[in-house]
Amino acid sequence: MAEAITIARPYASAAFRLAKERNALAAWSDMLGLAAAVADNEQMKAFIDDPKVTVADLQKVFLSVCDKHLDESGVNLIKILVEYGRLSLLPDVAAAFEALKAQDEGVLDAEITAAVALPDAEVKALVEKLHSRFGKKIEASVKVDPELIGGIKIIVGDTVIDASVRGQLQDLAYALQSQA
């Protein structure tokens, strides 16, 4: 079976094109974020996955929960997803939409993982270096993972910069195994 993001991407692309045409990227971002949160709710997940629930009932309940937060196009997207049994993909649709929006706005997400908490000044310096390297605005999230032993690991899109002790030890182990 195809991965969820593969199925969700065309819906996100269509929503993005429509939002871009109407100059409503922020509004669509809000609508999809809300709808994704509703679809990701445990009770709603159970309702969506219940084979006894009809398409009409699922549409009615889901749209009543989202209430006035969806415009006509947002309601149509929900109806299509319900009709084709893909409502559970809404979180993936929203994530793919946000990725397209960020790409359009020239923003890259960076995940910075350090062995210990980094001072704000150091994070700011890293973000500036990433900005100069990639030529785009960087939105960084920072987390701590003591298993890195020391150093940092940065993921920006498909690029991984592993300057951690754990990564260096893994590289050394691989090099030693290939020589044996």
Instruction: List average pLDDT for each run of 10 residues in the chain, which is 180 residues long.
Output: 83 96 95 96 94 95 92 95 95 93 89 94 95 91 94 89 92 88
Between CA 36 and CA 48 the distance in angstroms is 13
Is the distance from CB of 127 to CB of 111 less than 8 angstroms?
no
The encoded tokens of residue 109 equal 């997400």
Element (H, E) at 94: helix 90-104
Q: What is the pLDDT of residue 155?
A: 93
The encoded tokens of residue 177 equal 């195994």
Integer Rg of the chain from CA: 21
User: According to the CATH classification, is domain 107-179 in 3.40.30?
Assistant: yes
Residue ranges, CATH 1.10.520.20, the chain: 4-102
Q: What is the pLDDT of residue 1?
A: 44
Is the distance from CB of 82 to CB of 58 less than 8 angstroms?
yes
Spatial CB neighbours of 140, under 8 Å, sequence gap ≥ 6: 109, 110, 111, 112, 123, 126, 127, 130
User: According to the CATH classification, is domain 4-102 in 1.10.287.110?
Assistant: no
Is the pTM value of this prediction over 0.85? no
Spatial CB neighbours of 38, under 8 Å, sequence gap ≥ 6: 44, 62, 65, 66, 90
Residue ranges, CATH 3.40.30, the chain: 107-179
7 φ/ψ angles, rounded to the nearest 5 degrees: -75, -35
DSSP 147: G
